[in-house]
Amino acid sequence: MGEDRAALRVCTFQGLQNLPLVAARRLGYFDEASLDVTLSFTNSSAQQLSALATGVYDLIHTAPDNVVNFDTNPAGFGLDPSSAPRVVMLMGGSNGPLSVYARRGVTEMAALRGQDAGVDNPTSGFALVLRDLLARAGLELGRDYRFTTAGGTSKRAQGLLAGEFAVTILYTPFDLLVEEAGCQRLASSITVYPAYASQALAATEPWIAAHGDLVTRYIGAWLRALRWICTPAARPAVEALLAEESALGLAGVAPARAYDAFTHPRDGYGERAILDDAGLAQVIALRARYGTPATPLGEPTDYRDLRWYERAAGAAPGQQG
């Protein structure tokens, strides 16, 4: 089968959201789907999207806001708007919380005045969530605090623990890491927004049009791994994988705690990887409020195409909408 496998170049950020991906590799689900998946990691959403658009990667797991931002402003990613391909989301991945954590010793929002906030880049979606959550506490960017570019979530967690900045926004497992090291959570998206789509699978429209079968096979293997993870009987094997796999960034987090975080019925990653209207609508609303340059934005359906997800999941068209 090996020589007949189709090559797929996939890029993601390090984190627990990759658990289905690494499980699919370990369990041979990609092999059974005749896929040879090469996995790369990034610390920059700008680099990830520009590399996808120029053909360096085939598929990316990224924040949905990155897709909205790219399609709104490809020039911000170093691409010519007249020739940049459209990027669309194909599957969800997480509706779990984004949490604001302060460095050790900081226990209230007021103490952040005059301090630096670490972000991937000042225009990324997670930066907009951080900006909004701080604004709800009366803190205004440029007046009360500054953004400093600190890299992807794993880098920001390390920077927070090293005292390089006062506050940042994190998702699992990095929230668990800094919390166990004595940092305090000051706010969370899950207590403020009815829904927020924080992870998605995406690709360019031209590549999708030429490789629809590969997309379906990839999503099918990924969803198969997700179902295995969420099966209670698989828990010991999943915890063993959590302890061994460096791609998840779990050094310092007990596998049992990571498993509980991933499978939590409200705050976890979900059993179906749904990319729904409510979560995307919140992403778009924040981009419309804080994004620059100010540009008219579309509806959730303008940024997603779930046909291959529905085929892979065996769902009727429109069921996941």
Q: Is the pLDDT of residue 170 over 80?
A: yes
The reply to whether 99-191 shares the fold of 2-95+196-313 is yes
pLDDT tens-digit readout, 122-135: 988 899 999 999 99
CATH number for the domain whose boundaries are 99-191: 3.40.190.10
Q: How far apart are CA 40 and CA 60, in angstroms?
A: 9
Per-residue pLDDT at 95: 60
Q: Which residues on adjacent β-strands are paired with residue 203?
A: 88
Per-residue pLDDT at 202: 98
pLDDT tens-digit readout, 197-222: 989 999 999 999 999 999 999 999 99
Q: What average pLDDT is seen over the chain?
A: 91
The two structure tokens encoding residue 106: 């900081």
Average pLDDT over residues 47-64: 96
Superfamily of the domain at 2-95+196-313: Periplasmic binding protein-like II (3.40.190.10)
pTM, to two decimals: 0.89
Residues contacting 153, CB < 8 A, separation 6+: 13, 14, 15, 120, 126, 170, 171, 174
Q: Would you kindly state where each structural domain of the chain is located, as residue ranges?
A: 2-95+196-313, 99-191
Per-residue pLDDT at 315: 41
Q: Which helix (H) or strand (E) holds 60?
A: strand 59-62
**Beta carbons within 10 angstroms of residue 294's beta carbon:** 10
